[in-house]
Amino acid sequence: MPEQRCDSYYNATIKDETNYPRLEEELRVDVVIIGGGFTGVATALELAEKGIKVAIVEANKIGWGATGRNGGQVTGSLSGDSAMTKQLRNQIGQEAEEFVWDLRWRGHEIIKQRVAKYDIDCDLKFGHLHTAYKPAHMAEMQKTYDEGVKRGMGDELQLVSKTDIPKYLETPLYHGGLLNKRNMHLHSVNLCIGEARAAHRLGAVIFENSAVIDISDGVLPVVKTQYGSITANSVLLAGNAYHKLARKKLKGMLFPASLGNCATVKLSPDVAKALNPHDVAVYDSRFVLDYFRMTADNRLMFGGGTNYSGRDSNDLASELRPAIERTFPRLKGVDIEFQWTGMAGIVVNRIPQLGKVSSNVFYCQGYSGHGVATSHIMGEIMANAIIGQLTEFDLFANMKHIRIPMNDWFGNQAMALGMTYYRMLEHFK
């Protein structure tokens, strides 16, 4: 059975709810995309802009999964960048560093262009502060700053000292930070819905409440739901941590981690301004971090405490409240109006996974908590691959990944044990 949208801030403030039909017919298109989150919608829009006949088949609603449950931050903190660079050196040599650096910001440009071109109202704002949880963490921020200046970002980056943190956040918690004016934050669901509408206007067909039950992989693949089917030249699996298709091929590669977010009641404009005078998005420098920002209607949206066991939290607000009050003592006892969880797809080496499960069935998954920007980058790469431009796709498809040879439950316990190890390392740094 399809599920309704979760009780999140995003879903309570949708500008224009979707109402796409259930698949109840037999269709023929060029490409079928399974999954109506950022990966599927971004790829569909790329293809529709190229004149490709594309269909999206979503089990629930557009933006229902992790796309509608994240912190809404668009940052250049590309997951798995070091491991990615190391492997790319074996493929493209000295160009690897430049390729990965450019990749950091490519999603930003795609999103900015889409918002402007299609007039998408998604509360897009600029400015992000990466905060140092410990004094020692400033060394890495200095390194990032120096790299950015060397690559022409001097006007967009600023190191913030501990004494200057109060200019940006009303908190006793941090020892400095790195301000990035290129990074952004936004309303994730409204962005995804806006992109879906743009794809639909360009000819894409979209189906909601249409769970795929089988992919018949013959000369032409056939995607089947309970009430209909679509025949296509190519299929893209874009469900990330939420789909269970092609498990034999993809087993042990991706594991779900529960990401928790909440939003307070509306705060007065004066309080919101005092907490976050420059309206920046924030995440801290720990391996398992907290992240937060102000919404367009002056709520504090706060996330953290990633659960790598694969299970959702029972009372997320109670779990996040101590972190909120520790970060902003002014908010002690504040009412939390919304709380929600979402499953991110975690990859052991943090490199996004692109590939094929057969000659004409592609997959794209595994952004490890950095999906808003990365999904748009991968959508562009996947759209190009589907029409035969395979250069960038092949770079990722040739990456080596660690496959955990056990079922999902054991894999998640292994991931949770690894995260405990990193938490312990941070404690003693």
- β-bridge mates for residue 205, sequence order: 55
The pLDDT of residue 171: 98
The pLDDT of residue 299: 98
Report the relative pairing of strands 291-294 and 300-307 from DSSP bridges: antiparallel
The pLDDT of residue 288: 84
The pLDDT of residue 313: 65
The pLDDT of residue 408: 56
Tokens 């309080």 belong to residue = 271
Tokens 């004016």 belong to residue = 181
- β-bridge mates for residue 343, sequence order: 258
Q: What are phi and psi of 405, to 5 degrees?
A: -80, 65
The per-residue b/e assignment along 61-86, b for 16 or more CB within 10 angstroms, e otherwise, is: bbbbbbbbbbbbbbbbbbbbbebbbe
Tokens 């990401």 belong to residue = 259
The pLDDT of residue 419: 47
93 dihedral zone (left: phi>0; alpha: psi -120 to 50; beta): left
Cα gap 126→139, rounded to integer Å: 25
Nearest Cα neighbor of 9 from 156, 158, 134, 123 is 123
* pLDDT in 10s for each residue of the chain, 429 residues: 788 899 999 999 999 999 999 999 999 999 999 999 999 999 999 999 999 999 999 999 999 999 999 999 999 988 789 999 999 999 999 999 999 999 999 999 999 999 999 999 999 999 999 999 999 999 999 999 999 999 999 999 999 999 999 999 999 999 999 999 999 999 999 999 999 999 999 999 999 999 999 999 788 999 999 999 999 999 999 998 877 787 677 888 888 888 899 999 999 999 999 999 999 999 999 988 999 999 999 999 999 865 555 556 678 889 999 999 999 999 999 999 999 999 888 888 999 999 999 999 999 999 988 899 999 999 999 999 999 999 999 999 999 998 876 555 444 444 444 444 344 444 445
The pLDDT of residue 4: 86
The pLDDT of residue 311: 57
The pLDDT of residue 412: 47
